[in-house]
Amino acid sequence: MIESLILLSAVAAQDASADEPTTDAGAEAGQATLVDQEPELTFEFTPGVWLLRIRGDASNGPGDAPDLRLDTQLGLTDLNAAFRGEAVITRGDWSVEIAGSTFNSSGTTIAEEVSRWGSVLITPGLEFTSTLDMAFVAAEVKWQAWTPLGEAKLTEANPLRLSVGPHVGVSWLDIDQDLTTAFQTVSNGHAWWSVWGGGQLEFEFDMSRFISWIDSIRVQAGAGLGGTPVDGGFMWHAGGGVNVFFTPNIAVTIAYRYEKYSLEDGDWKINPNFQGLFLGATVQF
């Protein structure tokens, strides 16, 4: 009888241990078991050339100083090939985009009417040279708040993705402007901070099932409205573009960038807009 009880107890203990949940060595050692659920951190870098056209106007003098067009009346170069770099850091639905550019433009023209630039009286027939140097850095925090189509990443089951969301941004812009005649030069320079808010959308689709040498195509568009709180007024920006990925990590970028500012520093007022195609190569890792 005692031997039978011992045998039954052993069988019951074996069944109970089989019903208990098992843990892997990592869990027994107290290690986290949800690492795979953490959103992946990705980096994207796009250096390229910004085929930039400068538009807008500027004045230099008291309140009645005339506004002069930057491209026609001040003779700045119509088209500039400027360096521009853009980088994006993404984790889950959040990303930070950093962009920067620098360029200089100059031109010589002959005045067709009477005007004034600082201490220079411009009269018809006067030849003068003007220059404008610009450098800027901007950063945006973006949230892909709504994904009505697809998932965070393209998969065979979900070859399309559409996401929409808001962003906020800040930029630092530095401009130096000179006007030189045969007898004198007037120089101005200042830096401004601007802030804005806006929104963007992104559409991506898998192309590998249709064209063997293209992995995917991403289409982006966005715009923002804000201002320059100190020594300025309203500003806004808009843009869009296409990334053609030949592999999951390498793409060519064709985009358009437009930025408009209202700025002042004492009697010097400048309202430039910088616009043009942005052509670059994108590396993602």
**Model pLDDT for residues 210-261, shown as the tens digit of each residue:** 999 999 999 999 999 999 999 999 999 999 999 999 999 999 999 999 999 9
Residue 13: half-sphere exposure toward Cβ, Cα within 13 Å: 6
Per the domain annotation, does 17 fall within a domain?
no
In a domain, 24, yes or no: no
197 contacts: CB under 8 Å, gap ≥ 6: 166, 167, 168, 169, 224, 225, 226
**94: number of CA atoms within 13 Å, CB side?**
4
Listed in sequence order, the residues at least 6 apart from 45 whose beta carbon sits closer than 8 Å to its beta carbon are 85, 86, 87, 282, 283
DSSP 60: E
Residue 7's pLDDT is 42
**Domain containing 260 — which CATH number?**
2.40.128
Q: Does residue 266 belong to any structural domain of this protein?
A: yes
**pLDDT for the residue 39:** 78
Q: Which alpha helices (DSSP H) does 20-71 contain, by range?
A: 25-28
Predicted TM-score (pTM) of the model is: 0.85
State the pLDDT at residue 37: 64
What is residue 13's DSSP assignment? H
Mean pLDDT of the region 120-143: 97
Cβ-based neighbours of 224, under 8 Å, separated by 6 or more:
140, 167, 169, 196, 197, 198, 199, 236, 237, 238
pLDDT confidence of residue 13: 46
Q: What is the pLDDT averaged over residues 51-65?
A: 93
User: Tokens for 180?
Assistant: 């030189």
> Does any domain span residue 107?
yes
Q: Which domain holds residue 197?
A: 40-284
CB atoms within 10 A of CB 276: 20
Please count the other Cβ atoms lying within 10 Å of the Cβ belonging to residue 100. 16
* Residue 33 counted as domain residue: no
Residue 125 falls inside a structural domain = yes
- The identity of residue 223, as a single letter, is A
| Within a domain: 208 | yes
* 22 within a domain of the structure (yes/no): no
pLDDT tens profile 17-52: 444 444 444 444 444 444 456 778 999 999 999 999
| Model confidence at 197: pLDDT above 80 | yes
Question: Would you state the pLDDT for residue 156?
Answer: 82
Counting Cβ atoms within 10 Å, is residue 185 exposed (0-12), middle (13-18) or buried (19+)? middle
Q: Average pLDDT over the chain, rounded to whole? A: 89
Q: Cβ atoms within 10 A of the Cβ of 219, count?
A: 14
List, for residues 247-268, the tens digit of each pLDDT value: 999 999 999 999 999 999 999 9
Provide the pLDDT for residue 212: 94
pLDDT band at 126, cuts 50/70/90?
very high
Give the count of domains, the chain.
Answer: 1
Give the bridge partners for 29, in sequence order. none
The radius of gyration computed from the CA coordinates of the chain, to the nearest angstrom, equals 30
**pLDDT-derived band at 87, boundaries 50, 70, 90:** very high
Structure tokens that stand for 209 in this block: 């099932």
Per-residue pLDDT at 12 exceeds 90 = no
- Percent of the chain whose predicted confidence (pLDDT) is above 90: 81
